[in-house]
Amino acid sequence: MKINQLNTSKPLTCQEEATIISQKEALQKEKEDLLKQLKALESQRSSINITFQQQSRLLSERNQLAHQKSLKTSSELQRLEKQILNEKDKIHQKETLIAELLSSIKKEEHSETQTRETNLSTKITILDPETGKDMSPYDAYLLGLIERDQYLKLAELECDWEEITSHGPDGDTSILLDRKSGKQYSIMEALKDGRLTEADLKRYKEERCPFLSLPSS
């Protein structure tokens, strides 16, 4: 506006005209510099935007990979935990089976019948008054040293017993086997029925005397 006013008011001198031109060129140069700076700023802003987008994309990809890795790790942990539980179940089943087998073996061992045999015999001898030697009742009867009735009584007193004791889950079972007659006598049944007393049993074991009144089985 000032330039227009100068143009309208009065003619410009050469010096003034040169000054105006110089100012105009300076302003033009400043404008160009500002335009360059603006362009540089826009380019920088664009570069920053591109870098930000790239960084954002990389960060998103990393987060996605981390999430996938976390899911995979969690899935793997669940698989391992399930596998461990399965192995524990197998171990528990094996331990239970072993315990059952041991219990069964113990029951079988306990239920096995063990038999103990004890030979009990009674031999009666008669002293020969002439020779001083021992002889059997039969030999004494043949020599006429004893009567027939005495021989029969002494023969009844002679015995050859075998006591058989069986150990089983229901307790001990004892029977007497007369080897001469082959008859068997149940001691427990005789005691239970009252045909035999504990004193009789004790006297039998100590004195080796026969049980003539026991019921044969």
What is the percent of the chain with per-residue pLDDT over 70, rounded to a whole number?
Answer: 65
Residue 33: which domain range?
2-75
Q: Sign of dihedral through CA atoms 168, 170, 172, 175?
A: negative
Which has more confidence, 161 or 144?
144
Alpha-carbon span 146 to 167, nearest angstrom: 45
Question: What pLDDT sits at residue 69?
Answer: 86
pLDDT value at residue 3: 46
Structural domains counted in the chain = 2
Residue 90 is assigned to a structural domain of this protein: no
pLDDT in tens, 41-69: 988 888 888 888 888 888 888 888 888 88
Residue 84's pLDDT band, with cuts at 50, 70 and 90, is: very high
Q: Residue 5: its pLDDT value, please?
A: 47
> What confidence category does residue 91 fall into, taking pLDDT thresholds of 50, 70 and 90?
very high
Please identify, among 54, 75, 96, the residue that sits at the C-terminal boundary of a domain. 75
The per-residue pLDDT for 215 is 42
User: Across the strands, what pairs with 117?
Assistant: 164
User: What does pTM read for this prediction?
Assistant: 0.30
Q: Which residues contact 139 (CB under 8 A, 6 or more apart)?
A: 126
Residue pair 130/144 in contact (Cβ under 8 Å)? The answer is no
> Are 120 and 168 part of one and the same domain?
yes
Q: Which two tokens stand for residue 93?
A: 């089943």
**Tell me, what CATH number does 155's domain have?**
3.30.160.780
Q: CA torsion 133→138→142→146, rounded to 10°?
A: 80
Residue 133 lies in a domain: yes
